[in-house]
Amino acid sequence: MSNIGNYDKQVKNFTWEISEKELEYKKGDVINIGEYCSDRICRLGKGDKLALIWQGHSGDVKKYTFDRMRVLTNTIAQYLVDKEIKPGERVCLFMDKIPELYFGFLGILKMGGICQPLFSAFGGESLFTRLEDAETTAVLTQKKHLGKIRKIVQDLPHLKHIIVVDDEGRKPLREKECSFSMEKEKGIEHFDIYPATAETPSVLHYTSGTTGKPKGALHVHYSLVSQYMTAKYVLDFQEEDIYWCTADPGWVTGTSYGIIGPWSNGITQCVLDAGFRVESWYRFIRDHGITVWYSAPTAIRSLMKDGTAAAKKFNLSSLRHLCSVGEPLNSEAVIWSTKAYGLTFHDTFWQTETGSMMISNYPGMKIKPGSMGKPFPAVSATVVDLKTHEPIEKPGIVGLIAIKPGWPSMFRTYWNNEEVYKSKFINGWYICGDRASIDEEGYFWFVGRDDDVINTGGHLVGPFEVESALIEHEAIAESAVVGKPDPVNMEVVKAFITLNPGYEPTDMLELKIMNFIRKKLSPLAMPQEIEFMDKLPKTRSGKIMRRMLKAKEWGEEIGDTSTLEDE
C-alpha cells in the first residue's frame, strides 16, 4: 500500500495540519529544518541508520549515519557562529556534490543563516551577480573553485569569509580566506540550534527570468511542512528505501528533495558526485540497491539513447518507484521506462518559487503518459485565461497554470525585488508562467512556458543574462538569445549576433565566443550554436524581436510583425 493511498480520498480529507501533526509541530513552535533533518531523526531512534551514502567520481564511498550527520552539521554551525556570522546573513554553498555541501546546508540552517546554494559550474559572472545581489557574508567552497572567487572578491564588500572545506591547511590562503575541515575539527555534540519559527528565512535560490538579473526566491523554515509530506506521498518513502535524487543542490530539486524531503522522513539517500554516464548510473543503482529514483527528462532521454539493452545488462531489480521533474516528460520516455525497468516514471511539476511539488502523478493513480498529473491534495491549482486571468472552466483549453497562495513552501519574496514578486499574483492566484490545459478527468497537460526563458536539460537560462554577457565580448555588437529545439535537452541556447567592424564570422570566432560564455556564465548557458547576422530584427522602438528568431528555430508561424522596423 502506498503512503498516499487513494488520491481522491486524500483530496477530500488532507490538510496541511496533518503534516504539522506528524512533524509534532504546532503554530508558534520552533521549527528549524536543520534540526528536523538530523537531531529529530536521532530522537526518533534512528541515529544509527545511514543518512548518506556518498560516492565520488573515482568510486570512493563514504557513509554517514544520522547521528554522525547530526554532529557534523553541529560542527559546521558552531564554526560559522565562531566566525561571528549572524542569523539572517546569507551563507553561500559553492561546491561540487561532496558531503560538506549537504551537511553545510543543514549547518547553515541550524545557526539561523540563510543558505544560498549555487552551482559549482557557475563562472565568475554568474557567481558575482548572485553574491552581490544577496550581499552574501560567507562562502563555503572547495580549493578547486577558489580561483573564481578570488577574481571577484574585491568587488564584494559584504563578503567577509571564504571558507575552504578541503584545503587541509596546505594552500597558502589570502585575506578573508580560512581553512575548515568538518571531519578533522572536534565534533560538536551539543549545539544551541537557532530557534527559527515558521516565517524565519531559510533558503535563497536564484532563478532566471526573461528580463533583468536572476532573482533570489526566498523560502522559510515552515516550507518543511510541504516538503516533508510531498516527499512522503509522491516519492512514497518507506522505512527501508534507498533513495537517489540525481539533482545538484544548486537547483531547488537538490535541496527540497535531495536534502529536506528524504532526511526529514528519516530516509537513507545516495549521492553520486560524478557526471552523467549511462553505465556508471546503472552501476550506482545496482551497487547501492536504489529503490526510489528521482531524476529529470534529459537524463531519461540520454538513457533512452542507449536503449533497453544497456539497462538489461545490470540488475536493477531493487528499483520500485521512479519520478521525474524539470521539463516535460514526453510520453515516449514514460513508455520506454516501462520496457527498460518495468516501471513508469511519475512526472512532477513545480518550481523554485513553489518550493515543493504542486502537480504530480501519485503511486496507484492511473498514469496518462505525457500528463503532469494532478494537484497535490490541499494544493488548489487550475489554469487561468491568458488575458483575463479568470479560471478556465472548460476542459482542454490552454491557459496559465495558477495556484492559490497558502501552501507552506511558497516563496515569500524575491530578494530585493518585492515588486516583481507582487506581479506574480493576479486575481488571488500565483501565476506560474507556464501554459497548460486540464482534461475532463482533471489531469494537467503541459504546453510550454509563457515567457522567453530557456529550459535546457531542466535548467532555466535567462536570455537577457546571456545577451548581456555576449555583448561584453569585444567582437560582438548586438545579440539575441533564444531556445532551439534539441532531442535530448529539449532546448539548447542559440545566439544570434552582429559583429563589430573589423571582425569576420569564422568558426574560430564562434568557438571563442562559446568558450567566453561558458567561463563567464556556465556550461549550460553556453550557446550551442551561434548565427552571425548582418542585422537583428527589431521593433520600431529598437527592441530586438526575440519572438521572430525563436519562431524561426521552432518552424512556427512568425506571427504579427507589424511593429518591425523595416516594414
Query: Would you say 25 or 446 has its CB closer to ligand PRX?
Result: 446
Please check whether residue 429 is in contact with residue 458, taking contact to mean a CB–CB distance below 8 angstroms. Answer: no
Burial 253-282 (b: 16+ CB within 10 A, else e): bbbbbbbbbbbbbbbbbbbbbbeeebeebb
List Cβ neighbours of 108 (8 Å cut-off, separation of 6 or more). Answer: 34, 76, 77, 80, 91, 93, 114, 115
Smallest gap from Cβ 448 to ligand PRX, in A, equals 8
Q: Is 522 in the site for ligand PRX (CB under 6 A)?
A: no
Name the residue whose CB lies closest to ligand PRX.
352
Q: Please, which of residues 370-389 interact with ligand PRX by CB under 6 A?
A: 372
| Residue showing cell 542507449 | 306
CB of 374 to ligand PRX, least distance (A): 13
Cβ atoms of residues 110 and 69 within 8 Å: no
Residue 126 or 253 with smaller CB distance to ligand PRX = 253
Tell me the C-alpha distance between 152 and 158, whole Å.
Answer: 12
Min dist CB 453 to ligand PRX, Å, is: 7
How far is 110 from 302, CA to CA, in rounded Å? 38
Query: Of 226 and 455, which has the nearer Cβ to ligand PRX?
Result: 455
Taking the complex as a whole, how short is the minimal distance between the CB of residue 554 and ligand PRX, in angstroms? Answer: 16
The piece of 36-44, 178-186, 326-334, 506-514 that touches ligand PRX (CB under 6 A) is: 326-334
Nearest residue (CB) to ligand PRX, 52 versus 436: 436
**Which region among 111-119, 347-355, 491-499, 533-541 touches ligand PRX (by CB under 6 A)?**
347-355
CB 37 within 8 A of CB 264: yes
In angstroms, give the least distance from the CB of 347 to ligand PRX. 5
Binding mask 285-324 for ligand PRX (x = CB under 6 A): ----------------------------------------
Site for ligand PRX in 205-264 (CB under 6 A): 207, 252-253
* Minimal distance, residue 202 CB to ligand PRX, in Å: 17
Rounded CA Rg of the chain: 23
Look at the alpha carbons of 105, 461, 201, 270 in this order and tell me if their dihedral is positive or negative: negative
Read off the C-alpha cell for 208.
Answer: 532566471
As measured in angstroms, the least distance from the Cβ of 458 to ligand PRX is 6
- Of the candidates 261, 328, 375, 483, which one interacts with ligand PRX according to CB under 6 A? 328
30-59 residues in contact with ligand PRX (CB under 6 A) are none
Examine residue 333 and tell whether it contacts ligand PRX (CB under 6 A).
no
Residue 223 has, within 13 A of its CA and on its CB side, a CA count of 31
When binding is defined by CB under 6 A, the residue of 117, 258, 326, 369 that contacts ligand PRX is 326
Asked if 334 is part of the footprint of ligand PRX (rule: CB under 6 A), the reply reads no
Q: What angle, 0 to 180 degrees and rounded to 10, lies between the N-to-C axes of helices 66-82 and 99-110?
A: 60
Residue number with CB closer to ligand PRX (96 or 327): 327
Q: Which of 19, 298, 455, 489 binds ligand PRX (CB under 6 A)?
A: 455
Among 102, 191, 350, 411, binds ligand PRX (CB under 6 A): 350
The backbone torsions φ and ψ at residue 294, rounded to the nearest 5 degrees and listed phi first, read: -115, 115
Contact 107, 74 (CB under 8 A): yes
Q: Which is nearer to ligand PRX, 41 or 300 (CB)?
A: 300
Q: What CA–CA distance (Å, rounded) separates 126 from 92?
A: 13
The full DSSP string for 336-371 is HHHHHHSS-EEEEE--TTT-S--EE--TTSPP-TT-
| Nearer to ligand PRX (CB atom), residue 420 or residue 477 | 420
Q: Is position 127 an interface residue for ligand PRX (rule: CB under 6 A)? A: no
Cell numbers that stand for 474 in this block:
569585444
Report the 10 Å Cβ neighbour count for 563: 12
Q: Any contact of residue 457 with ligand PRX (CB under 6 A)?
A: no
Q: Kindly tell me which of 20 and 347 has the beta carbon lying closer to ligand PRX.
A: 347
Which of 325, 438, 513, 521: binder of ligand PRX (CB under 6 A)?
Answer: 325
Cell of 559: 506571427
Rounded to a whole number of angstroms, the minimum distance from the CB of residue 441 to ligand PRX is 18
Q: How far is the CB of 252 from ligand PRX (least distance, A)?
A: 5
CA distances to 91, 389, 390, 448, 539 from 400, rounded to whole Å, are 35, 8, 10, 10, 26
CB 319 within 8 A of CB 345: no
Kindly state the number of chain residues that form the binding site for ligand PRX, as judged by CB under 6 A: 21
Give the DSSP per-residue string, 178-247.
Answer: EE--TTTSPP-S--------TTSEEEEEEE--SSSS-EEEEEEGGGHHHHHHHHHHHS---TT-EEEE--
Among 327, 452, 465, 491, the residue binding ligand PRX under the rule CB under 6 A is: 327
Cβ 449 to ligand PRX, closest distance in Å? 5
Q: Does 352 bind ligand PRX (CB under 6 A)?
A: yes
Using CB under 6 A as the binding rule, the residues of this chain from 417 to 436 that contact ligand PRX are 432-434
Residue 437 binding ligand PRX, by CB under 6 A: no
- Interface with ligand PRX (CB under 6 A): 207, 252-253, 325-328, 347-352, 372, 432-434, 446, 449, 455, 460
